[in-house]
Amino acid sequence: MDHPLRRPEEILAYRSLREILTAKPRSLWTVGPKDNALTAMRLMAEKNVGLVLVMEHGAIAGILSERDCVRRLMLAGKSPELTPVAEIMV
């Protein structure tokens, strides 16, 4: 099967969060930093997305991904119901 070769700058191109978000559909899902992690994970599962924006006072405070939930929450033995998003977001 033939695959066109891509230049390294196409593969490794650095894009800002703003550029990534503008290329995505307009449906962005958000949670607050005080919401518990279980709420965020349920939202990601319901909307079939891998990350949510964490918004505070109308501004982006961080992001939370499924990977963050696994590494910073589950593997650390924290309770999803008792852990606020602010403790595990990036």
Q: What is the pLDDT along the chain (90 residues), one digit of tens a residue?
A: 566 776 666 655 677 767 766 776 667 899 999 999 999 999 999 999 999 999 999 999 999 999 999 999 999 999 999 999 999 998
Identify the CATH homologous superfamily for domain 26-87.
CBS-domain (3.10.580.10)
**In which residue are the tokens 């899902």 written?**
29
Q: Would you state the pLDDT for residue 9?
A: 63
Entry pTM: 0.70
Query: In the 8-state DSSP scheme, what is residue 34?
Result: T
| Whole-number Å distance between alpha carbons of 90 and 79 | 18
